[in-house]
Structure formats: C-alpha cells, structure tokens
C-alpha cells in the first residue's frame, strides 16, 4: 500500500482560510442579530437585553474592520500599488474585540441570578458614565448640551447606587462580601473610575461569600479555561498596541522574513475564536 503524501499549506493558504472562516462567522453574527430583532426582541425587554444586542453589533463592526484591514492599506498618496499590511493597528481592534467578549461573559454568563447581573451591569454603566463626569473644564456656553448630559448622568449614577443597595438587601450575602461591593461602588463614584474591569461573586451554595475584582490581564482564564497558554493573550495584544519601545521594535522587524503574515493569520484566527465565544454566550443569555 502506497503512502499518501501529506498535504502542506502555505502561509497565504492559511491566511485565506482564516479570512474565509472569519467572514462566514461575521455573516452568521449578523444573521443572529437580524433574527433576534425581527422574531425575538420585544418592546418590553429590559435594558440588559438591548445592551447585549449592542455588544454583538459592535463585535460585528470590529470584525468587519479586521476583514477590511487584512487586505492592506495604501500609505502613499494616490498610490494603490504600494500596499502595506499593518497588523499593529489590527491588534488594537482585536484587543478591543476581546474586551467586548470578556465584558459580555463577565456580566451575562458568570453571574447566576438577575440581581447579580444587575449589580455588575450597574457598576459597568457607572464606570462608563464616569468618562463624561471627568470632563469638568468644558466651556458651559459652547457645550451646554454636553453639560446637561453630565448633570443627568450624575443623577443616573446616584439612582444606580440606590438600586444596587436595594438588590444587596434582598440577596443571600455575607456582610463582608456586601461591604466589598459597597466599597467598590463608592470608589467608582468618588474616584470617577472609568477603567474596564471584571468582577466575580464567590459563593458557597447559594450564599455570596466574597466579591473579587478581575483585571483584564488575568481575564483570559475565564475565557480559556482549558488552555493555560492562552492566558497571556491580553498581555500579548498590549505588547503590540502600546506606544512602547517593544511595540515600535516589533513594527520595524515584522516585515523581515514576512513575519507580518504569521501575525495576520494569528489575528484572523483569534477573532474567530473570540466571536465563537461571544455567539455562544449571546445565545445562552437570550
């Protein structure tokens, strides 16, 4: 019996396959959103459902941007014959896509009850609104509408603080864990914290025993539970996106020996993996 030759694929073949897979996945994501909006969504749905849908739509936009950038960009005016592949810009989009995926997982899947989900949702909303609360030096006359938004959102933040207090009063939770949540909430408001983080309810049976913070650097373990090597994924993205010496050095070296092709394949493949998790989580929540 003759030994069959093993099929080998070039880097271009691998990139093309990853591109096609990501494009199909992006099309499927849009089909899910379209189906949800036409057949499942109801006018009486709560805000958390609308936010979940928006997160999926944002992921679609970021994925489309990655697909478009994978064709390369023209860096010379009116010269389409000089095309540059720029994985460093794509890594920035990929990292923001990952942050969306983790945020969704943290709020909608890692929580077990509606009360827990609402607490994380409110903290996330407060951190987001804090970005606008920080802008205190705006000229009032030229930015009156913006200042009105600030005032309204300051009231919204107070309402969400009261909502969290009401939820905590009804939860089966240890005093120490409740104090941790209240301390986190008060720090977010007082210090106007706007950075994205995750949080986890530690439980013994149905009782919440602790409330823990999850940094984005340590967040991959909650996405990739079985593969410890992928736990460094967020740090890897940061190595390419931050304006550090290392990122500039890697930019200068990535065109040697076609290193950018390997990076392009990694980006497209990673986007497929992230979106697969998001699709699964979205369908599980809905």
pLDDT tens for residues 146-197?
888 888 999 999 999 999 999 999 999 999 999 999 999 999 999 999 998 9
Query: 219 versus 237: which is more confidently predicted?
Result: 219
Are the CB atoms for 99 and 196 separated by under 8 Å?
yes
pLDDT of residue 227: 57
pTM reported for the whole predicted model = 0.89
Q: pLDDT band for position 209 (50/70/90)?
A: very high
199, pLDDT greater than 90 = yes
Q: At 78, is the secondary structure helix, strand, or coil?
A: coil
Write out the two tokens for 230: 């992928």
pLDDT of residue 239: 81
**Contact indicator for 115, 170 with CB cutoff of 8 Å:** yes
The predicted pLDDT at position 173 comes to 96
Cβ neighbours for 154, distance < 8 A, ≥ 6 positions apart:
133
Residue 197 DSSP SS3: coil
In the chain, % of residues over pLDDT 90: 60
* pLDDT over threshold 60, residue 86: yes
Indicate if the pLDDT at residue 257 is higher than 90: no
Asked if residues 22 and 67 have their Cβ atoms less than 8 Å apart, the reply is yes
Residue 141: the pLDDT is 63
Q: Worst-scoring range by mean pLDDT, 51-65, 134-148, 171-185, 244-258?
A: 134-148
Confidence grade of residue 142 (pLDDT, cut at 50, 70, 90): low
Assigned token pair, 186: 């008060």
Band of pLDDT at residue 273, cut at 50, 70 and 90: very high
DSSP 6-35: PP---HHHHHHHHHHHHHHHHHHHHHHHHH
Q: What is the pLDDT of residue 233?
A: 74
pLDDT of residue 268: 95
């Amino acid at each position: 019996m003759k030994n069959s030759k093993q099929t080998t694929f070039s880097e271009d073949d691998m990139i093309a396959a990853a591109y096609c897979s990501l494009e199909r996945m992006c099309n499927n994501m849009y089909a899910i959103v379209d189906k949800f909006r036409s057949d499942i969504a109801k006018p009486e749905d709560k805000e958390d459902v609308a936010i979940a849908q928006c997160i999926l739509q944002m992921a679609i936009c970021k994925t489309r941007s990655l697909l478009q950038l994978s064709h390369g960009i023209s860096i010379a005016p009116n010269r389409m014959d000089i095309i540059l592949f720029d994985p460093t810009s794509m890594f920035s989009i990929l990292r923001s896509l990952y942050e969306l995926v983790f945020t969704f997982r943290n709020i909608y899947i890692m929580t077990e009850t509606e009360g827990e989900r609402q607490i994380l949702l409110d903290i996330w909303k407060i951190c987001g609104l804090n970005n606008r609360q920080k802008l205190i030096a705006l000229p009032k006359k030229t930015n009156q509408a913006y200042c009105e938004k600030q005032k309204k959102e300051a009231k919204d933040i107070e309402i969400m603080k009261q909502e969290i207090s009401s939820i905590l009063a009804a939860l089966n939770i240890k005093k120490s864990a409740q104090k941790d949540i209240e301390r986190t909430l008060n720090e977010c408001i007082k210090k106007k914290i706007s950075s994205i983080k995750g949080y986890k309810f530690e439980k013994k049976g149905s009782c919440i025993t602790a409330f823990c913070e999850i940094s984005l650097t340590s967040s991959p373990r909650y996405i990739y539970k079985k593969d410890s090597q992928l736990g460094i994924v967020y740090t890897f993205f940061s190595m390419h996106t931050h304006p550090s010496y290392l990122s500039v050095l890697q930019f200068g070296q990535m065109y040697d020996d076609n290193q950018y092709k390997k990076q392009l394949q990694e980006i497209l493949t990673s986007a497929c993996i992230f979106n697969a998790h998001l699709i699964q989580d979205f369908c599980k929540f809905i």
